[in-house]
Structure 1
Amino acid sequence: MSIGFLTLTPGSAEFGDAVEQVAALRIKVFREWPYLYDGTEEWERRYISKLAEAEGAVVIAARDGEKIVGVSTGMPLLSEHDELITPFRGSDFQPEQVFYGAETVMLPEYRGQGLYRGFLERRRQHAIVLGGFRWETFCGVVRPTDHPLRDPAIPPLDPVWSHLGYRKVEGLTTDFSWRDIDQTEETAKPMQFWIRDL
């Protein structure tokens, strides 16, 4: 198996195709624990429209032959949704100096081969080359330990994130709403921010 990485920005030849595949990968991967996301292509297209419009955005794509098997996306925090920007106002991290890593998702059969680190390091390098950023951040959903759909086969990623240089910032949180796979209505989910220096 030979995996190649592509770093794509708005205006590059393959950016549009990669963004289209972000939606499909998000729906598939985020259906798993801990997100349990019951996504639709229509909502996904609205969600990722900011990616194509944001100056400084990036899609890191992992490709096996012609097939994109994973993606990592990011953009300057100030180009993101208010739910992500607002928690940083008045914090120790000035929003204009923060680069936001939106998601890193890959098909299950490609996990455990070092692609995750490759995604994050390329995304970090993109933010450094852009200039003007002091920090990189992302947020992850917080689920109760006794959640009935918890999958014990999927370990928490906290130790991985810590090993890669991120730190959990207590009190720096937001909420996102989506419909879980076992629910009929959307509910708000707490999201915890993690940050590392650039």
Structure 2
Amino acid sequence: MPATPEVRLYRGADIAPWLDDVARLRLAVFRDWPYLYEGDVAYERDYLAAYAHSPDSVFVLALDAGRVVGASTGLPLADDGEAFSAPFRAAGMPVVQVFYFGESVLLPAYRGRGLGHAFFDRRETHARALGRFRWTAFCAVDRADDDPRRPAGHRGNDAFWRKRGYVRQPGMAMRLAWNEAARGEVEHALTFWLRDWKEEAA
């Protein structure tokens, strides 16, 4: 079994040296269910550019002997693309009060060691320390329960996210297209999950 990785947090401009490592990890992990993403380096560069340009972005990295084996990202939603913020505007929510979590990706050999909680803990602490966000949010791809490509015994993350205080928002979704393995470019629906820190504090 590999050693337990070291978890480090990088902010703003300090994430720049790690962009390629996170891009490679995304390509490796998102190839599997439920994203089935056929990697595109050009897209990865464009996607991560928003994080590189945001002074309040965060990368939480899991490192094994200096190699990135896990990554979790976040940035103010107002610093991300319009496609991500549009559902919040449509719902009448102030985008400037939302901190968006991009992804948590971890190589299979390192799963089951509490790193998922560490990723959320570090990002939430970072967002709350900035002092201007009411919500933390992320989105997850919607897949049919009877999709024949679903691996046998696969367990989703819904229970984990709910224990972290996140609530799925039916009808609050965005659509993104990406190249899916063996199918080409396909448009997908992704539904948002929110944690309301003001409501919890009341």
Percent of paired sites with the same residue: 36
CA distances 1:3-41 after superposition (whole Å, capped 9, x unpaired): 2211101232xx223221110011010011000000122
- Counterpart in 2 of 1:104? 104
Residue 68 of structure 1 and its aligned partner are, at CA, apart by 1.3
Residue 117 of structure 1 and its aligned partner are, at CA, apart by 0.5
Unaligned stretches of 5+ in structure 2?
Answer: 198-202
Residue 158 of structure 1 and its aligned partner are, at CA, apart by 0.7
The AA in structure 2 aligned to 1:122 is R
CA-based RMSD: 1.2
Residue 192 of structure 1 and its aligned partner are, at CA, apart by 0.6
Residue 130 of structure 1 and its aligned partner are, at CA, apart by 1.1
Unaligned stretches of 5+ in structure 1?
Answer: none
Residue 146 of structure 1 and its aligned partner are, at CA, apart by 2.1
SS at match of 2:159: helix
SS at match of 1:148: coil
- Counterpart in 2 of 1:183? 183
How many correspondences in the alignment?
Answer: 195
- Counterpart in 2 of 1:43? 43
- Counterpart in 1 of 2:8? 6
Residue 168 of structure 1 and its aligned partner are, at CA, apart by 0.6
Residue 2 of structure 1 and its aligned partner are, at CA, apart by 3.4
Q: How does 1:68-79 map to 2 (within 5 A)?
A: 68-79=68-79
CA distances 1:121-166 after superposition (whole Å, capped 9, x unpaired): 1000010111100000000000112222111232111111101110
The AA in structure 1 aligned to 2:24 is A
Cα distance change of structure 1 residues 79 and 65 upon mapping to structure 2, 3 Å threshold = same
- Counterpart in 2 of 1:197? 196
SS at match of 1:11: helix
Residue 80 of structure 1 and its aligned partner are, at CA, apart by 0.9
SS at match of 1:83: helix
Residue 72 of structure 1 and its aligned partner are, at CA, apart by 0.3
